[in-house]
Amino acid sequence: VSIRISRERARTQVEVVDDGVGFSDTAGEGYGLLSIQERLQIVGGGLDIKATPQRGTRVRVWVPLSEDGCKEETLHECQDSTG
C-alpha cells in the first residue's frame, strides 16, 4: 500500500494505491462512494477511483485550499451540510 499526500496549486490531494485484488464496477450496491463524491463536490473537490480486478486499486481525493473550504456558488449548501 502506498499513501501520498500532496499540495498542488490551491488544493490538497490524497492518493492511496494498492496491488491487492481490486474490485469491479459492479461490486456492492451501497451508496458510500457516491455519498463521498457528492460531499467532495459540494466543497469543490473530487474523487477518482481506478480499480482492476486482480491488479489493485488507486483512490485519489482532492479538496480545495480556501479560507472556509466552500466554493462561493455552493456556499449555502456547504454551510447547511457542515453545520
Model pLDDT for residues 59-77, shown as the tens digit of each residue:
999 999 865 555 554 444 5
Query: Over the stretch 18-45, which tens digit does the pLDDT of each residue have?
Result: 998 877 665 566 788 889 999 999 999 9
Short-list 60, 49, 61, 55, CA closest to 22: 55
Share of the chain above pLDDT 90, in %: 48
For residue 37 the three cell numbers come to 463524491
3-state secondary structure of 12: strand
Angle between helices 32-42 and 75-82 (to 10 degrees): 130
Distance from the first to the final alpha carbon of the chain: 34
3 touches 13 (CB < 8 A): no
